[in-house]
Chains A and B, each alone.
Chain A
Amino acid sequence: MTVPAHHQNDSSNTPLVVLHGLRFVRGDRVIFDDVNLTIPRGRVTAIMGPSGTGKTTLLRLIGGQLVPDAGRIEVDGLDVHKLGRRELFELRKRMGMLFQAGALLTDLDVFENVAFPLREHTQLPESMIRDLVLLKLEAVGLRGARDLMPAQLSGGMARRVALARAIALDPMMVMYDEPFTGQDPISLGVLARLVRSLNDSLGLTSLVVSHDVQKTCVIADYVYLIAEGRVVGEGTPEQMHTSPSAWVQQFMHANVEGPVPFHYPALDLATDLMGDEM
C-alpha cells in the first residue's frame, strides 16, 4: 500500500503534531498543565483519560479553535496559534475532524453533507464531485444511504457519514472525538475497523480521543494517558497493560479505587451524620 504523494515529504519521519509544554486554563480550573506529546505520522495514536479531563478541549486546541495560555502546538511544522486567519483555514483543510455526534448539517442530505467540503473548497465539476462523494461513502459502507437525511440515520450511521465527510478532501490527519461512545457492539466494531483501515489505506495520521479502553487499544499504535492536566502514562497498548504506574493500572483495568478516588471529597462520615442530630 503506497502512501499518497502529498503525504510524503523528505521528513516523513518527523511527527505530525507536537505539543510543547501546553497549558490551558478555563476559569479557575487548570485543564492542562505542561502537557508534552508527539503524534507520529501514519500511525493511530490514542489519547485516553478519565471523563472531564478535557480531551475534546485538546482537539480544539490542536485545531486552533482555542488558544493555549502557555506552550506551543505544531502541526506539520507550523505553529498553529501563530498562523493568520487564512493560513489557519488552509491548515484546517488538511485536517479532518469527526465530532462526537457527527455534527452533520441537518438541512442537507447525506450526499450533500459529504459533498460540502468539496463544494466549498474546490472548483471541481459536478461529475467529479459526484464520483468522489460516492467513493468516500463506499469506503464507509454507506453509498446506498446517500439520499437519506441526517435525522433518518442511526447514531452509528451518522458517525460513518461524518467520517466520509472528514476524509472528503483527503486530509493528512483525522481527529476522532470519542468515536466509540454510546454505540452498540456492532457499530463499535465497524467504526474501529474503519478507523484502522482508512488510516492504513489512505496513509493518514489518526488521533483518537476516547475512554473505551478495549476498542481503542485494539486499533491504536501508541497510547497517551492524561489525567489531572498532565500525561501520566504513555506507551504501546502492550506496554500500557503491564505498566507499573498507579494511574495507568487503575484506568486500564477499570479499578474502582486508585489515583481517581471513588468518594468525592467530603467530611468524614461520622461527623456528617452526627451533625444532623445537633
Chain B
Amino acid sequence: MIGDWFAARGRRVLEILVRLGRAHILLYYVLLALPSSVRLFREIVRQIHSVGVRSLVIIIVSGLFVGMVLSLQGYNTLVHFGATQSLGVLVALSLVRELGPVVSALLYGGRAGSALAAEIGLMKATEQLSGMEMMAVDPIERVVAPRFVAGVLAMPLLAAIFSAVGVLGGYFVAVGLLGLDEGAFWSQMQGKVDFHEDIGNGILKSVVFGFVSTWIALFQGYDAVPTAEGVSLATTRTVVHTALAVLALDFVLTALMFNKV
C-alpha cells in the first residue's frame, strides 16, 4: 500500500517534469517565431487591446484603492513616531518597488491570463489550431506569438499605471483627507525615491512578470485537454500558477535588486 503511494508521488513528479519540459519547448518555438510574427502588427495591436486595454478598469480601480489604503494605514503607524512627513515616501516606495509590479501582475494573471488560456484552449478544442496547421499556417506564429508580445509589452505599462494611480490615491488621502502638508508629501517622496533603483527595478520586475505570466497562460491554453473540462482546468491553473510564480519571482528579484542598497 505504501509502495503504491510512493509510486503515485513519483508519477506526479514525472508528470510535472514532463509539463515543465513541454512548456519550455513551447517557449522555444514562440521565441523562434517572434521575428516572423512582427509582420502581424495588426494582430499584436488587437491583442494589446485584449490584454491591456481591457484590464485598465481593474488596474486603475485597484491601484487607486491600494494607494489610498496604504496612505491611511501608513498614517496610522507613522503618527506614533511623529514621522508623518514620510508618508509620501512610504506610499511611493511601497507601490513602485513592490505593490505596483506584483499586484498588477496578479490581477493581470486573473483577468488577462485566464482569458488567454481559455481562448487558446477553446481554439484547440474546436480544432481551429489543427485547421490552421492543415492550411499550412503555423499556429504558434499566427496565434501564440502575437499574444506573447502583447503581454510582455502591456504588463509594464499596467504596472506603471497602477503605481501612478496609487500614488495619486495616496496623495488624495494624505493631503485631502488627513490634512498633511502637500509640499512635504511630494518633496520627501522626490528626495527618497530613486529613478534607477526604485522605478527602474520596479519596471524590470513587471517585464519579468509579464513574460512569465503570459507564458504560463499561453502554455496552459495550448496544452489543454481539448474538452470543455480541459479548458476550464487550464483557466484555473493559469490563475494559480501565475500567482505562485509571480510571488516566488518577486522574492528572488527583490533579493537580487534591493539588497545591494
Contacts and interface: CB of A to CB of B under 8 A. Distances in A.
Asked if the two chains touch in their complex, CB atoms less than 8 Å apart, one says yes
Contacts of B176: none
Contact of A121 (B126, B128, B136): B136
Interface string A80-106: 000000000110110101011101111
A104 B137 CA distance: 14
A120 B134 contact: no
Given A100-B127, A103-B127, A95 B134 contact: yes
Contacts of B126: 101, 103, 106
A99 B135 contact: no
What DSSP secondary structure best describes chain B's contact surface? helix
Contact of A65 (B123, B128, B130, B137): B130
B10 interface: no
Contacts of B197: none
A59 to B, nearest CB: 9
A33 B142 CA distance: 36
Contacts of B135: 92-93, 97, 116-117, 120, 165
Contact of A106 (B128, B136, B138): B128
B21 interface: no
Contacts of A104: 128, 131
A63 interface: yes
Interface residues of B, number: 15
Size category, A interface = 20 to 34
Contacts of B133: 63, 65, 92
Contacts of A103: 126-128, 130-131
Contact of B137 (A90, A97, A99, A120): A120
A154 to B, nearest CB: 16
Nearest to A92: B136
Contacts, number: 51
A133 to B, nearest CB: 15
Contacts of B131: 97, 99, 103-105, 162
Contacts of A95: 134
B128 A93 contact: no
B74 to A, nearest CB: 45
A63 B136 contact: no
B1 to A, nearest CB: 25
B127 A90 contact: no
A119 to B, nearest CB: 10
A65 B136 contact: no
Nearest to B131: A103
B141 to A, nearest CB: 10
B218 to A, nearest CB: 17
A194 B126 CA distance: 23
A99 B130 contact: yes
Given A104-B128, A105-B128, A106-B126, A97 B134 contact: yes
Contacts of A60: 130
Interface string A169-188: 00000000000000000000
Contacts of A162: 131
Nearest to B125: A101
Max count, chain A CB within 10 A of own CB: residue among B133, B135, B136: B135
Residue from B123, B132, B133 whose CB has the most chain A CB atoms within 10 Å: B133
Contact of A89 (B122, B123, B127, B136): B136
Contacts of A89: 136, 138
15 contacts: A63-B134, A65-B133, A89-B138, A92-B136, A97-B131, A99-B127, A99-B131, A100-B127, A103-B131, A104-B128, A104-B131, A105-B128, A120-B137, A162-B131, A165-B135
Interface of A: 60, 63, 65, 89-90, 92-93, 95, 97, 99-101, 103-106, 116-117, 120-121, 162, 165
Interface of B: 122-123, 126-128, 130-138, 142
Given A105-B131, A106-B126, 20 more contacts: A63-B133, A63-B134, A65-B130, A90-B136, A92-B133, A92-B135, A93-B136, A99-B127, A103-B126, A103-B127, A103-B128, A103-B131, A105-B132, A106-B123, A116-B137, A117-B137, A120-B136, A120-B137, A121-B136, A165-B135
